[in-house]
């Protein structure tokens, strides 16, 4: 099911340049959540990054669009996937897919990476609790890891070793976002802290919903932060493996994730009272340390 503006844009004809411009406008409108297509990415790559982002942004909006039932959200994502399949068959109509078709043809991108993202967005609709850490990691395999692999393909890095290092960083980034956004997700009735960990540390879901920051909760979050940092470290060799065309953006992304973990530690793991975020000073420090590294 397409809604409002998306129906309108799908009805008109789009040239490839117009489609890329549409994706760029959409990405820039959401720039606070979109650091990937920064000035550190070579100019010729940015339109393709915008196209990939726009595909994911609209699908994500479908999963969270207000006023829709879960069934309507699932239907919307299904229609989006049908358009993806059509684009791979050479029949793109929506501007996102007109642009994306150009991107996937040029960089030989398999459809499965985009379908994995759609799987994650369906999970956002159907699954609001995760019993084990392995269940959370399985979600990350669909929600985060494809983004890293797509970026690598745009820069023609295709070895499986490189992809696996990227998976470690992307999973760590997704986990960091979960620990950063505990209260944000609670407002959507979503809990990404594994339920068996909650019980193991003597905490409870009821206390979490009540925003009770006990010592048990702090110990629980410390545990999550430590194993997330381990994943960042496992993926760190990728920063040296890629060329200058991608290294700077990747270093800033890696350092940004690690800085959020430090912020959580600095506030004694109380992410219920205050959402940890990067200040302008933090971002400046990340930039200069990445330049100097």
The helix/strand/coil state of 264 is helix
Its domain, for residue 236, covers 132-293
- 145 shares a domain with 111: no
**Residue-by-residue pLDDT tens, the chain, 293 positions:** 445 556 566 667 899 999 999 999 998 886 544 454 455 788 899 999 999 999 999 999 999 877 889 999 999 999 999 999 999 999 999 999 999 999 999 999 999 999 999 999 999 999 999 999 999 999 999 999 999 999 999 999 999 999 999 999 999 999 999 999 999 999 999 999 999 999 999 999 999 999 999 999 999 999 999 999 999 999 999 999 999 888 888 999 999 999 999 999 999 999 999 999 888 888 888 887 777 76
Q: Are residues 108 and 205 in the same domain?
A: no
Question: Which of these three, 126, 150, 175, is where a domain ends?
Answer: 126
Global confidence as pTM: 0.91
User: Does 151 lie in the same domain as 274?
Assistant: yes
Q: Are residues 290 and 168 in the same domain?
A: yes
In this structure, are residues 115 and 33 in contact, taking their beta carbons and an 8 Å threshold?
A: no
Residues 282 and 189 in one domain: yes
What is the rounded CA–CA span in Å between residue 209 and residue 171?
25
Q: Are residues 175 and 293 in the same domain?
A: yes
Is there a single domain that holds both residue 105 and residue 22?
Answer: yes
Tally the domains of the chain: 2
Q: What angle do CA 149, 95, 115 make, to 5 degrees?
A: 35
139 and 118 together in one domain: no
Considering the domain architecture, whether residues 154 and 246 belong to the same structural domain is answered as: yes
101's CB contacts (< 8 A; 6+ apart) are 87, 88, 90, 92
Instruction: From 72, 107, 126, give the residue that closes a domain.
Output: 126
Distance from chain centroid for Cα 130: 18
Angle of the 16-29 helix axis to the 95-107 helix axis, nearest 10: 100
Query: Are residues 249 and 110 both part of a single domain?
Result: no
Q: What is the DSSP letter of 231?
A: H
Last residue of a domain, one of 101, 126, 151: 126
> Are 113 and 153 found together in one domain?
no
Distance CA 91, CA 264 (A): 47
Same domain assignment for residues 291 and 160: yes
CATH code of the domain covering residue 180: 1.10.600.10
């Amino acid at each position: 099911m397409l809604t409002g503006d998306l129906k309108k844009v799908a009805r008109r004809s789009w040239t490839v340049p117009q489609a890329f411009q549409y994706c760029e406008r959409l990405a820039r409108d959401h720039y606070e959540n979109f650091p990937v297509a920064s000035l550190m990415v070579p100019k010729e790559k940015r339109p393709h990054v915008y196209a990939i982002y726009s595909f994911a942004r609209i699908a994500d909006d479908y999963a969270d669009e207000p006023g829709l039932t879960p069934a309507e959200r699932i239907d919307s994502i299904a229609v989006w996937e049908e358009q993806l399949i059509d684009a791979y068959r050479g029949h793109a109509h929506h501007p996102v897919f007109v642009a994306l078709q150009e991107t996937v043809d040029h960089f030989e991108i398999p459809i499965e990476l985009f379908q994995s993202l759609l799987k994650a967005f369906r999970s956002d609709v159907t699954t609001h609790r995760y019993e084990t850490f392995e269940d959370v990691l399985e979600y990350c395999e669909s929600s985060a890891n494809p983004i890293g692999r797509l970026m690598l393909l745009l820069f023609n890095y295709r070895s499986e070793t490189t992809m696996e290092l990227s998976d470690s960083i992307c999973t760590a980034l997704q986990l960091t976002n979960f620990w950063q956004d505990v209260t944000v997700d609670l407002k959507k009735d979503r809990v990404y802290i594994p339920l068996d960990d909650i019980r193991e540390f003597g905490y409870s879901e009821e206390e979490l919903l009540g925003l009770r920051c006990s010592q048990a909760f702090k110990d629980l979050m410390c545990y999550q932060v430590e194993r997330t940092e381990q994943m960042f470290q496992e993926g760190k060799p990728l920063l040296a493996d890629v060329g200058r065309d991608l290294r700077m953006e990747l270093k800033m992304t890696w350092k940004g994730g690690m800085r959020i973990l430090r912020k959580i530690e600095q506030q004694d793991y109380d992410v219920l009272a205050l959402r940890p975020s990067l200040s302008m000073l933090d971002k400046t420090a990340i930039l200069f340390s990445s330049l100097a590294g």
